[in-house]
């Protein structure tokens, strides 16, 4: 009658008494089943080791690491290498992992991959992870320990190899780039040297010196011009004085038939034509070469005339008066001084024109010079940067070869498991006990719900809503079917009596 009325603690106690053996049998059965499963399921032993990450021994301010990827990325890359088939298959064959007649090598390799566990140990410090743990599950404790140690050694060696290869690869690459940068820098040095040699005196850094020199030459030219003017005035005065003394005072050179002033005029015209030809033609043009030869001949002739006393009508005759002889001597000395002054003036004028040409061409030269020097500075800066990086990479490579860089260090060696992690006998026994007890209670509740027996006055009232008139004791020897028929008749009479009372 479970569910037809509100049950009391006495009812629950009676139900437990009636269904005790059912609940006990279910509990014991599933308890035994849980314990039996522990003996039939293959055990799994887990071996664990801790690996710490030692930072670089030398401070990074002195030697910068060349590892481009982070620690997490490198650890993930090493894990993929360790779990590759080329690494796993020899371990499977060596330790005979997961043997079975129907298990193919691919399945055994997959089971081995799944048995490997990598767990990162986080740290609150700013440097990141302090290390990681490596676990391996196997059906044998010794096998689990050996395989865990093998995987750990592969992790350590793979990390060393990866860092060394990264450092060496970076160093080799930078060396090759440095060779190319050195070749480019040499080409830029040659271009810069050729440009400076071609434009010597017209470079931007020489412009202030050229301006100062031009200013000084201009002052010298003014002085030379004044000197020539003064000497010409003196010569004119002496010639006039000699002309007054006698008609023989001619100052035309009988050897050449031309005066010194005429030679100077011819020289100036030749120099001007030379400049015009150079502006139009190249330096090896025949007209330019011929004009240069003419200028050189005129200068040689003027210098020769200045060096030798002029054989003119101003020569001292024995018949001349002493005063006339003195004037002629002064005129001859003045002519020599005037020739030297004009030669000096021409030389200064030539220098002035040369410096003026340099200053006029400075803007164009400066533009070309900036382009050449910019390319040279770019190549030099790139070369110095590569040289610095290559030196840093070389130090990092030497650091890795000496094993002074970041390394994996085994803190705890792989342990030998004392008991399997699966199946856990206590967990299985407790689970079987709890499941059997719950299932027994469920069956007991279901049977009680389907049972229609009337066991006390509360059941009669819940079923008939009538008070109890009499109680018939239960007798073991009586036929149960007959007792049920008697109960039925009593219930029918009670019902009729209740209806008559209500009517």
Residue among 78, 45, 138 nearest 407 (CA): 78
Domain boundaries, given as residue ranges, for the chain:
204-376, 469-503
pLDDT digits (tens, 9 = 90+) for 295-342: 787 777 777 766 655 444 444 455 567 777 777 777 788 788 878 888
Q: Which residues pair with 134 in a beta bridge?
A: 49, 118
Q: How many angstroms separate the Cα of 44 from the Cα of each of 98, 110, 147, 276?
A: 11, 16, 14, 105
112 in Cβ contact with 88 (< 8 Å): yes
Asked if residue 136 has pLDDT above 90, the reply is: yes
pLDDT digits (tens, 9 = 90+) for 487-498: 666 556 656 655
For the ranges 215-219, 255-259, 397-401, 481-485, the one whose mean pLDDT is highest: 215-219
Q: CB under 8 Å to 64, separation ≥6 — which residues?
A: 392, 396
Pick the residue with more confidence: 416 or 491? 416
**Mean local confidence (pLDDT), 38-62:** 81
Scan for tokens 């793979």, then name that residue: 158
330 in Cβ contact with 236 (< 8 Å): no
Q: What is the pLDDT of residue 48?
A: 92
Tokens of 321: 């008066």
198: three-class secondary structure by DSSP: helix
Model confidence, pTM = 0.51
pLDDT digits (tens, 9 = 90+) for 437-456: 899 889 888 887 777 676 66
Residue among 144, 148, 150, 149 nearest 44 (CA): 144
Q: What is the pLDDT of residue 432?
A: 85
Q: How many angstroms separate the Cα of 321 from the Cα of each of 244, 246, 326, 444?
A: 13, 10, 9, 175
Asked if residue 124 has pLDDT above 60, the reply is: no
Asked if residue 460 has pLDDT above 80, the reply is: no
């Amino acid at each position: 009658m479970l569910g037809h009325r509100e049950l009391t603690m006495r009812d629950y106690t009676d139900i437990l008494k009636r269904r005790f053996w059912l609940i006990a049998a279910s509990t014991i059965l599933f308890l035994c089943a849980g314990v039996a499963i522990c003996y039939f399921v293959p055990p799994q032993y887990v071996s664990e080791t801790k690996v710490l990450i030692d930072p670089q021994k030398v401070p990074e301010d002195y030697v910068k690491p060349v590892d481009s990827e982070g620690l997490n990325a490198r650890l993930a890359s090493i894990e993929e290498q360790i779990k590759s088939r080329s690494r796993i298959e020899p371990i499977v064959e060596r330790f005979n992992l997961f043997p079975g007649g129907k298990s193919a090598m691919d399945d055994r390799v997959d089971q081995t991959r799944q048995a490997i566990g990598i767990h990162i140990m986080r740290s609150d410090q700013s440097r990141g992870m302090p290390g990681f743990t490596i676990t391996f599950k196997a059906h044998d404790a010794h096998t689990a320990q050996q395989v865990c140690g093998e995987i750990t050694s592969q992790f350590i060696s793979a990390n060393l190899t990866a860092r060394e290869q990264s450092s060496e690869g970076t160093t080799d690459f930078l060396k090759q780039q440095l060779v190319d940068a050195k070749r480019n820098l040499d080409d830029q040095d040659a271009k810069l040297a050729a440009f400076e040699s071609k434009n010597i005196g017209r470079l931007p850094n020489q412009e202030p010196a050229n301006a100062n020199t031009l200013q000084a030459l201009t002052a010298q030219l003014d002085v030379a011009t004044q000197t020539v003017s003064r000497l010409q005035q003196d010569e004119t005065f002496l010639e006039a004085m000699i002309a007054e003394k006698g008609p023989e005072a001619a100052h035309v050179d009988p050897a050449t038939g031309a005066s010194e002033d005429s030679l100077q005029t011819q020289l100036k015209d030749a120099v001007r034509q030379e400049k015009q030809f150079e502006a139009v033609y190249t330096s090896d043009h025949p007209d330019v070469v011929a004009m240069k030869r003419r200028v050189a001949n005129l200068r040689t002739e003027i210098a020769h005339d200045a060096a030798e006393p002029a054989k003119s009508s101003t020569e001292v005759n024995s018949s001349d008066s002493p005063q006339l002889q003195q004037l002629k001597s002064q005129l001859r000395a003045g002519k020599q001084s005037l020739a030297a002054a004009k030669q000096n003036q021409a030389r200064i004028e030539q220098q002035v024109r040369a410096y003026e040409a340099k200053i006029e061409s400075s803007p164009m030269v400066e533009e070309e010079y900036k382009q050449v020097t910019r390319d040279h500075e770019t190549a030099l800066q790139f070369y110095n940067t590569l040289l610095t990086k290559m030196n840093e990479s070389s130090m990092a490579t030497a650091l890795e070869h000496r094993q002074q860089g970041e390394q994996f260090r085994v803190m705890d060696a792989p342990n030998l498991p004392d008991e399997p992690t699966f199946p856990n006998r206590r967990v299985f026994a407790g689970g079987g006990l709890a499941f059997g007890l719950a299932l027994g209670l469920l069956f007991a509740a279901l049977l009680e719900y389907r049972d229609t027996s009337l066991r006390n006055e509360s059941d009669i009232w819940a079923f008939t809503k009538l008070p109890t008139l009499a109680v018939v004791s239960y007798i073991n020897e009586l036929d149960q079917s007959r007792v049920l028929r008697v109960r039925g008749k009593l219930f029918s009479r009670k019902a009729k009596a209740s209806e008559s009372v209500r009517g």
